Amino acid sequence: MSATTTEPATAEPPRLDAFLRFVVRARQANMFLVLVLALFVGLVFGGIMIIVTQPTLLTSWSHFFSHPGGTIASSFNTVWFAYEELFQGAVVNFHSLRLLIDDPSKVTLATALIPLSGTLTYATPLIVAGLGLAIGFRSSLFNIGGQGQVILGGVLALLVGFSFHLTPVLQVPLEMIAAIGGGALLAGFAGVLKAYTGAHEVIVTMMSNYTMIAVLGYLLIQPLFARPGVLDGASKAVGVSGQLPYFFSHLNAALLLNVGFIIALVAVFAVQWFFTRSKTGFELLMVGQNPDAARVAGIYSKRSIIICLALAGGLLGLAGMLELTGVDHFVTPNFGGSYGFDAITVALLGRNKPWGVFFAAIFFGAMFTGGEAMQAFTPTNIQFSLADVIQAVVVFCVATPALLVEVFHLRGGSRLMNSTYAGGWV
């Protein structure tokens, strides 16, 4: 008898097997991957907008077949330079960093810190305002009155700021209490109307924006708030003891990053704890996700509505205080800008999660400061509005993850699309 030998099956190379597992895992749909792809799509769309809005590039593309290589190279260089300026204006300027390494000094350190300081300074009120709106959104309450609550918080903080001349340890907390209380009262009033009369919170809070804008315009021409002897639309300034201390002002006056950023970080941790560890936070989540089950469990829905909107308004009022005492120090008719409405987008981009809101606000800050630098320093004078276009595309992609799942053929996207909070930030 002849023994038959069977050759062992050829094992798949370990490196190839690991690579295949990595590819499969990389295509698994999750919120982080959606955010990365959304940013990629936003940058690609922004690059197309740069090309179609630059006359020289359009002229070059009209003669594409005469010099295809030169056309592609000039378009790529223009887009690359614009995004390089966007990054350097928002995070760190490579030239300034090289000077700091070659010659460490206060001057070079301040120059290197200016871009990041601007990004974090702009993001600070957005972080707190976004947290406030996220509290409402996670409880299925749509607080659209952020602008009015920011204004009221800033006005009350201003009143405390120029009326008292205490030590900073006492005056700044007093301003915070006034701002949080004002925002909580304004939003809480909408909560009372919804809980006991059925008035829709969207309508009530939206109309409060127009009310507070009108009230602000009236107050700025009254002797209590207007600058003495001058009716130029600007208010009195907050006293020095009521202003938030700057971290690096001793290096350069342009470094406006202040203690407000630490307050915003504390707010992120507080909201995270509120939703994951507190009984009230759990009740608000239950009311938002399943009101009927919450009612069966004995949760008083009217009380939850009022608490939710009051907490949201308090954080938005705090955002107004941080903007006033950390940056402006006085109030104009345009106080608060678009913070109240930008915070809606920040909360949605952050998937209504505290750390998601934190990073979304920093992204908005980077787009704002980087967009200004891009317009100021690019020879082709690329408009600041391009940064807004990139923001809009990114938010659109994050708000519609099904689009990215289909375009990039991601695996397991149904769970991501079917759950409001699945795959979000922790």
Q: For residues 184 and 171, what is the distance between their CA atoms, to the nearest angstrom?
A: 20
User: Residue type at 276?
Assistant: T
Q: For residues 286 and 297, what is the distance between their CA atoms, to the nearest angstrom?
A: 9
Q: What is the three-class DSSP state of 28?
A: strand
User: Token pair for residue 406?
Assistant: 């289909």
* Per-residue 3-state assignment (H helix, E strand, C coil) for 364-426: HHHHHHHHHHHHHHCCCCCCCHHHHHHHHHHHHHHHCHHHHHHHCCCECHHHHHHCCCCCCCC
Q: For residues 255 and 398, what is the distance between their CA atoms, to the nearest angstrom?
A: 32
Contact 287, 335 (CB under 8 A): no
Neighbours of 332 (CB within 10 A): 13
Spell out the residues 6+ positions from residue 229 whose beta carbon is closer than 8 angstroms to its own: none
State the DSSP string of 220-262.
Answer: TTSTTTBPTT--SS-BPPPPGGGSPPBSSTTT-TT---BTHHH
For tokens 């009369």, what's the residue? 197
Q: For residues 333 and 231, what is the distance between their CA atoms, to the nearest angstrom?
A: 12
Domains annotated for the chain, with CATH where assigned, are 26-90+382-426 (no CATH), 116-365 (1.10.3470)
In terms of Cβ atoms closer than 10 Å to its own Cβ (0-12, 13-18, 19+), residue 383 is: middle
User: Residue type at 24?
Assistant: V
Q: For residues 302 and 284, what is the distance between their CA atoms, to the nearest angstrom?
A: 11
Q: Is 198 left (phi over 0), alpha (psi -120 to 50) or beta?
A: left
Q: For residues 411 and 22, what is the distance between their CA atoms, to the nearest angstrom?
A: 13
For the chain, 426 residues long, give each residue's pLDDT as a single digit of tens: 455 555 555 555 556 566 556 656 656 666 777 788 888 888 898 888 888 888 888 888 888 888 888 888 988 888 888 888 888 889 888 888 888 888 888 888 888 888 999 999 999 999 999 999 999 888 888 899 999 999 999 999 999 999 988 899 999 999 999 999 999 999 999 999 998 888 888 999 999 999 999 999 999 988 899 888 777 788 999 999 999 999 988 888 888 899 999 999 999 999 999 988 888 888 888 877 777 677 767 777 788 889 999 999 999 999 999 999 998 899 999 998 888 888 998 998 888 899 999 999 999 999 889 888 888 877 767 777 888 888 888 888 877 777 887 877 777 665 555 544 433 433
Among the listed residues 42, 133, 148, 31, the one whose alpha carbon sits nearest the alpha carbon of residue 363: 42
| pLDDT per position as a tens digit, 191-213 | 999 988 888 889 999 999 999 99
Q: Where are the alpha helices (DSSP H) in 14-145?
A: 14-26, 31-53, 55-62, 68-90, 94-102, 106-138
Contact 213, 176 (CB under 8 A): no
| Prediction pTM value | 0.86
Bridge partners (DSSP) listed for residue 14: none
User: Token pair for residue 240?
Assistant: 């020095």
| Residue 127 C-beta-side C-alpha neighbours within 13 Å | 26
Neighbours of 393 (CB within 10 A): 19
| pLDDT per position as a tens digit, 403-422 | 887 877 777 665 555 544 43
Among the listed residues 350, 285, 343, 305, the one whose alpha carbon sits nearest the alpha carbon of residue 153: 343
For tokens 């109030």, what's the residue? 331
User: Residue type at 393?
Assistant: V
